[in-house]
């Protein structure tokens, strides 16, 4: 399960430090400055700021929690830091518990104790440190958040923690089966949670950025308001132009099932590439954006352009981050294989021949097996023959696409790929009912590969949503989520369980 799905399931993954009602006062201006530096994209600088604040005042909860946030962010890229983070957050919780135990009126201890439990829940969930422990921490955080907000309903930042829990715990069953009843989590309230996050965004200080990042996802994926999600993201991008995470989140929104605007996603990746390329020492965001742009181009059925982007990056022979070169080579191998380029295997072998890239060898072996099986079955050749029609569909040239597909259909009348692409064209042209009938037959075809069955069922569910048959749509979305959890269609299906499909 990806970190993104984990974060969405519980709403824990984007939690960041908050402060008590006097957070913006002069005594905490230095803490606020550290958070702003963190949100601005300078994570190393923020880490240094918080370390200095803690060294000057070791018992100061706001500074220590900021340091925990910066340290937790580093654990994703460096697992060796996990023991140190675990030691520090356990100690923080113990000390906050002791303060709260000595005085129930200690609002600062109450506030940070709730946020620390939520942060530890997020960490445990994201790093496979125990579902039960994560659930217990989440439940404790919810109870503490409720108590704090009752005392300080005027505190805008306080609504971020509560709103995050209330919103995401209600949609969690779409992503994790029976998660709330099974783990005895307190109930949430999706509508109220959304209002609380909006309040944190508009009235908070430290939390406005984090709430905005969540609202971008919520509006765009779960509430059927993609324009609001994009607007929120663009506002954050203007406010924090040095933080590429905002553009990455916007790209995810454009790529997501509620928008599916691959050109819009490509534009976000291009913005990141342009900004990072101007830096004296480009960050890992540059390679991430190059990989993202390549994938967005393939989604637009522009594999040749994708390969050119990847080749240009490979020719620069990046040495940092260490994963960049093997990732670029394997992505280019995949895209070369899609168009039937026999040289694709050379990129894979180049990765396998390099001992320092051993972490990527398992993925490289899997890619070789996929390429071999695809060639042996003839799937690759049929895919290549469909490329012209696929590109015409992407350009909304329906009649030309139909003519291109007909040429392929005459040679492969029963091929699942051909039938699927014809159904996609039919759906795109507005005949959802006809496409659903074709897709339903395809999903029942034993000869169809799993990815086509999953995509075909997704088309059936979306057609039901468009026709107002929500119960039928939910049953089909659930079937995809239960039976095809490793296929790409599952994310769209889980989003469909939360929010009805609407045409762009």
Block residue for tokens 């009843």? 181
Domain-embedded: residue 276: yes
Q: Are residues 326 and 415 in the same domain?
A: no
pTM: 0.88
- Contact 459/476 with Cβ under 8 angstroms? no
In a domain, 208, yes or no: no
At residue 12, the pLDDT reads 40
Q: Residue 400: what pLDDT? A: 98
Are 358 and 285 members of one domain? no
Residues 13 and 145 in one domain: yes
423 contacts: CB under 8 Å, gap ≥ 6? 435, 438, 439, 442, 456, 459
* Res 504: pLDDT: 77
Domain boundary among 199, 234, 261: 199
Give the C-alpha separation, 488 to 465, whole Å: 20
pLDDT at 33: 94
What is the pLDDT, as a whole number, of residue 122?
84
- 98 in the same domain as 246: no
Query: Per-residue DSSP letters for 352-397?
Result: HT-GGGGGGHHHHHHHHHHHHHHHHHTHHHHHHHHHHHHHHHHTT-
Structure tokens at 194: 């959304």
20 and 125 both lie in a single domain: yes
Q: Does residue 169 sit in the same domain as residue 153?
A: yes
The count of structural domains within the chain is 4
455 inside domain: yes
- Give the domain CATH number at 104: 1.25.40
Q: Which domain holds residue 171?
A: 3-199
- Alpha-carbon gap, residue 340 to 315, rounded angstroms: 22
Contacts 24+ apart (CB under 8 A), 419-427: 420/448, 420/452, 420/455, 420/456, 421/386, 421/389, 421/390, 421/393, 423/456, 423/459, 424/393, 424/459, 425/389, 425/393, 425/398, 425/401, 427/459, 427/462, 427/463
Predicted pLDDT at 297: 97
Please report the DSSP string for 198-267 in residue order. HHHHHH-STTHHHHHHHHHHIIIIISS-HHHHHHHHHHHHHH-TT-HHHHHHHHHHHHSTTT--HHHHHH
Q: In whole angstroms, give the CA distance from residue 34 to residue 37.
A: 5
Determine the pLDDT at residue 135: 79
Q: Are residues 314 and 368 in the same domain?
A: no
213 domain-assigned: no
* End-to-end CA, the chain: 28
Asked, for residue 215, whether it belongs to a domain, the answer is no
How many C-beta atoms surround the C-beta of residue 297 within 10 A? 24
C-alpha closest to that of 154 among 191, 118, 199: 199
Q: Is 283 left (phi over 0), alpha (psi -120 to 50) or beta?
A: beta
Looking at the structure, tell me whether residues 93 and 189 fall in a common domain: yes
Give the CA count within 13 Å in the CB-facing half-sphere of 495.
26
Name the nearest CA neighbour of 251 among 219, 284, 216: 216
pLDDT in tens, 30-69: 999 999 999 999 999 999 999 999 999 999 999 999 999 8
Q: Cα(392)–Cα(397) distance, rounded to whole angstroms?
A: 5
Q: Which of 377, 403, 422 lies at the terminal end of a domain, its last residue? A: 377
Same-domain check for residues 23 and 161: yes
Is 15 inside a domain boundary?
yes
Q: Which CATH number goes with the domain that contains 479? A: 1.25.40.10
Q: Are residues 72 and 9 in the same domain?
A: yes
What's the DSSP call for residue 11?
A: S
91 in any annotated domain: yes
Within a domain: 464: yes
- From 151, 184, 199, the end of a domain falls on 199
Give the C-alpha separation, 310 to 327, whole Å.
10
- Per-residue confidence (pLDDT) for residue 76, from 0 to 100: 83
Contacts of 455 (CB under 8 A, 6+ apart): 420, 487, 488, 489
Q: Which residues does the chain have with pLDDT short of 50?
A: 1-26, 180-182
pLDDT at position 15: 37
Shared domain for 312 and 332, answered yes or no, is no
| pLDDT given at position 164 | 87
Same-domain pairing of 346 and 392 = no
Asked if 386 and 421 count as a contact pair (C-beta separation under 8 A), the reply is: yes
**179, 185 in Cβ contact below 8 A?**
yes
Query: Rounded to an integer, what distance in angstroms lies between the CA atom of residue 259 and that of residue 274?
Result: 24
């Amino acid at each position: 399960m990806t970190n993104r799905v984990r974060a969405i399931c519980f709403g824990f993954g984007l939690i960041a430090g908050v402060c008590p009602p006097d957070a913006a006062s002069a005594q905490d201006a230095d803490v606020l400055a550290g958070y702003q530096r963190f949100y601005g994209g300078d994570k190393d600088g923020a880490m240094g700021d918080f370390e200095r604040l803690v060294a000057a005042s070791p018992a100061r909860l706001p500074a220590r929690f900021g340091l925990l946030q910066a340290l937790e962010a580093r654990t994703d890229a460096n697992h060796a830091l996990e023991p140190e983070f675990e030691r520090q957050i356990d100690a923080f919780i113990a000390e906050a518990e002791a303060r709260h135990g000595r005085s129930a009126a200690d609002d600062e201890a109450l506030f940070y104790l709730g946020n620390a439990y939520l942060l530890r829940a997020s960490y445990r969930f994201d790093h496979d440190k125990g579902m039960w422990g994560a659930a217990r921490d989440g439940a404790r955080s919810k109870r503490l958040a409720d108590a704090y907000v009752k005392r300080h309903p005027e505190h805008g930042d306080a609504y971020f923690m509560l709103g995050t829990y209330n919103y995401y715990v209600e949609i969690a069953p779409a992503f994790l089966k029976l998660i709330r009843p099974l783990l005895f989590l307190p109930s949430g309230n999706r509508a109220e949670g959304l209002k609380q996050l909006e309040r944190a965004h508009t009235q908070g200080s430290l939390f406005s950025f984090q709430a905005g990042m969540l609202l971008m996802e919520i509006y765009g994926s779960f509430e059927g308001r993609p324009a609001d999600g994009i607007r929120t993201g663009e506002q954050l991008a203007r406010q924090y132009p040095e933080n590429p995470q905002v553009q990455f989140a916007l790209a995810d929104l454009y790529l997501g099932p509620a928008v599916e605007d691959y050109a819009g996603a490509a534009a976000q990746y291009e913005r990141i590439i342009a900004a990072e390329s101007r830096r004296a020492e480009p960050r890992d965001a540059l390679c991430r954006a190059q990989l993202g742009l390549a994938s967005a181009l393939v989604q637009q059925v522009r594999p040749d352009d994708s390969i050119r982007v990847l080749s240009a990056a490979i020719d620069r022979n990046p040495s940092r981050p260490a994963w960049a070169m093997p990732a670029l080579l394997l992505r280019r191998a995949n895209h070369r294989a899609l168009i039937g380029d026999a040289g694709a295997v050379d990129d894979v072998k180049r990765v396998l021949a390099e001992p320092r890239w051993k972490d990527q060898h398992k993925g490289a072996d899997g890619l070789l097996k996929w390429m071999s099986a695809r060639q042996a079955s003839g799937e690759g050749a049929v895919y290549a023959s469909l490329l012209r029609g696929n590109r015409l569909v992407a350009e909304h040239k329906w009649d030309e696409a139909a003519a291109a597909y007909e040429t392929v259909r005459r040679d492969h009348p029963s091929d699942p790929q051909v039938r699927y692409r014809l159904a996609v064209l039919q759906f795109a042209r507005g005949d959802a009912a006809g496409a659903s009938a074709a897709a339903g037959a395809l999903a029942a075809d034993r000869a169809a590969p799993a990815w086509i069955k999953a995509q075909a069922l997704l088309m059936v569910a979306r057609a039901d949503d468009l026709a107002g048959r929500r119960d039928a749509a939910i049953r089909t979305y659930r079937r995809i989520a239960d039976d095809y959890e490793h296929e790409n269609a599952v994310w769209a299906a889980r989003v469909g369980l939360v929010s009805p499909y609407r045409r762009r």
